Amino acid sequence: MLSLRRWLPLSLLLSTASFLPFSVVGCSSEEEREAVTGEGDEIVNIPHTDVKNQSIGNCWTYATIGWVESMHLRATGKSLNLSESYLTYWDWYEKLVKEPGSDQLKTGGWFATAVKLFDRYGLVDEGVFIPEEAEAERSARQSAAEAAINASMKDGALRKSRDPKVVRDELNKAWKLSADVVASLNEIFGEGAPRQLTSTIKLPAKFPLRRTSDIDVLSKRPGQAATKAKLKDVMGRWQEFPMPSSATSRRAYLRRVQKALHDEHPVIIVWDVSWGSRDKVAGSFPAMKADAKIDGRHMTLLEDYQATNVPNFGLLPAGITITDTKTLNAALSDQTTIQFFRVKNSWGQTVDPSGSGQFKGYVDLYGDYLWPSNGAPNGLVSFIFPSEYTDALPSGLEPDRCASAADGAVCGAVLTSNASDKRLFVCKEGKTASMTLCAGGCSKAACLNPPPPNPCADIGVDAPGLYCGDSLAMLPSDPGYNHLYSCQIDPTTKKWISPSTPCPQGCAPQPPGIPDRCK
């Protein structure tokens, strides 16, 4: 469906001008936004766990934990709620002992750091490390621990010594870990410098730590069927790829990202935050302002994208799942434009950019923000996805039928010289702006029986979601019956809208509570 080796010195990078192979992410959080502003068939459908709300600059832990949770969810159908605080604890330990002269914590990090920490210390559920925050969307303990460690570095035990045992003791106090949790950590790793986590170490029953060799994920390679694997076996395949400078190279680069998304990989995106360029109502980032100030670097997970200028299809809207290989391959063409990427964020379950009510806490990042043409800084830094995905075009792509057509509406039968072609094209500048499958056929540049323009509103839908024409009380003879509609509320007008996609094999209504889908 459509809906992710070098160890570099830690430093906070806030500019794309000097990109490093693995970018250090000094994460933006909602507090930073308040400080700056003064204000408090999806083409693909990547399975994700619940959105959380970071309280400090460690978005990279939320992105990489979410990456693991997503791959596990897809493999097993079961949600994990892994602890970002546990990962942060060990990240701080390594920074404190390796940077003895530092007097303030650096909370930023990157993907390679997380992978190393996963392998060295394992992962635990949220409620195992801090039981009081087992179901919390936001960890108050993290910000309190950061303040305590900074105080110790400036005028406490950590100013005098960075001995591993001293560091561990200070971390345990700062995080207010229970005696049972401290005893379990000491049993597994020792009281000072931690020993390597191996398969032979017996884990205490009251602290069910998960090794990377214990966590089931789904492994998928290009052109091959997905198989169940272990996290340890797939981590090395994921690499960070920086955004290229030229528009031509960028299109080929984005095609690699699309391919990974089509195979349902939770691609990681690294991007720069400009609060002054944010749409405060929709919660999205529509365009980078020419005088934009970059306020921080951020890491999140892709969920979907919206594409325009797709040959013979036009717009492929986010929010409608597409399973047809021909359509997905068409989206990989050179002329396709990625209008926006939809990302799972870590700033809490706030506004929903889709208007559907299904994506609270997600953010839409538009091309005009990620790679602006007005001389403003690029918002996009890099993507992280399996390295096997290449930029090669799929074979057998059908040329755009609008390539030699005048602007305006035209029947597919005219463009293809095939009388049975029931499509209606709207052509613009030699590209397909839109395509409609006319149930009653096409004549004189119009559907004989056009589908309803807004069935979600016309028929009185009161719940957002994906609906077949049958679920919207249409009859099989009605135009648009075999379309899949994304019923959602436009965040600007607050009215119901009905973006849809034709289902060539028919639409399959599902039981109540389950979104309908194309066959």
Tens digit of pLDDT for each residue in 228-246? 999 999 999 999 999 998 8
Handedness of CA 326, 395, 388, 239 (dihedral sign): negative
Angle between helices 84-98 and 140-155 (to 10 degrees): 10
How many CA atoms within 13 Å lie on the side-chain side of 447? 19
Top-confidence residue, 499 or 426: 426
Give me the pLDDT at residue 432, please. 96
Out of 19-23, 57-61, 491-495, least confident range: 19-23
Handedness of CA 385, 391, 397, 403 (dihedral sign): positive
Handedness of CA 466, 469, 470, 471 (dihedral sign): positive
Tens digit of pLDDT for each residue in 103-131? 999 999 999 999 999 999 999 999 999 99
Tens digit of pLDDT for each residue in 438-457? 878 999 999 887 777 788 88
In this prediction, residue 16 has a pLDDT band, given cuts at 50, 70 and 90, of: very low
Percent of the chain with pLDDT over 70: 91
Q: Is 288 a residue whose pLDDT tops 50?
A: yes
**Helix ranges (DSSP H) in 288-401:** 325-330, 367-370
The Cα 96–Cα 102 span in angstroms is 8
SS3 category, 297 = strand
Give me the pLDDT at residue 23, please. 55
Give me the pLDDT at residue 491, please. 63
N residues, the chain? 519
Give me the pLDDT at residue 39, please. 30
Judge whether 278 and 268 are in contact, CB under 8 Å. Answer: no
What are the C-alpha distances in Å from 133 to residues 117, 124, 146, 149? 21, 13, 16, 20
Judge whether 263 and 391 are in contact, CB under 8 Å. Answer: no
Q: Strands, E, within 350-390: which ranges?
A: 362-366, 380-386
H or E stretch covering 344:
strand 337-344
DSSP assigned state of 277: G
Q: Is 512 a residue whose pLDDT tops 60?
A: yes
Backbone angles phi, psi at 310, to 5 degrees: -75, 125
Judge whether 272 and 377 are in contact, CB under 8 Å. Answer: yes
Kindly state the average pLDDT of the residues 385-400.
96
Tens digit of pLDDT for each residue in 128-170? 999 999 999 999 999 999 999 999 999 999 999 999 999 999 9
The neighbouring-strand residues paired with 238 are 386
SS3 category, 324 = coil
Percent of the chain with pLDDT over 90: 69
In this prediction, residue 465 has a pLDDT band, given cuts at 50, 70 and 90, of: confident
Backbone angles phi, psi at 206, to 5 degrees: -80, 0
Give me the pLDDT at residue 30, please. 54
Tens digit of pLDDT for each residue in 183-231? 999 999 999 999 989 999 999 999 999 999 999 999 999 999 999 999 9
Q: Is 365 a residue whose pLDDT tops 50?
A: yes
The Cα 207–Cα 183 span in angstroms is 10
Task: Tell me the pLDDT of the chain averaged across its residues.
Answer: 88
Q: Is 179 a residue whose pLDDT tops 70?
A: yes
In this prediction, residue 26 has a pLDDT band, given cuts at 50, 70 and 90, of: low
Which sequence spans correspond to the domains of the chain? Answer: 57-216, 399-450, 455-519
Q: Is 18 a residue whose pLDDT tops 80?
A: no
In this prediction, residue 13 has a pLDDT band, given cuts at 50, 70 and 90, of: very low
Give me the pLDDT at residue 25, please. 67
Tens digit of pLDDT for each residue in 303-330? 999 999 999 999 898 877 788 899 999 9
Task: Please spell the DSSP secondary structure of 218-246, one letter per residue.
Answer: EE--TTS--EEEEHHHHGGGEEEEEPPSS
Task: Please spell the DSSP secondary structure of 400-465, one letter per residue.
Answer: PTTTTSPSEEEEHHHHH--TT--EEEEEETTEEEEEEE-TT-EETTEESSPPPS-HHHHTT--S-E
**Of 421, 424, 420, 380, residue with least CA distance to 402:** 424
Q: Is 5 a residue whose pLDDT tops 70?
A: no
The Cα 44–Cα 436 span in angstroms is 20
Top-confidence residue, 2 or 163: 163
SS3 category, 496 = strand
Helix, strand, coil percentages in the chain from 3-state DSSP, rounded to 5: 30, 20, 50
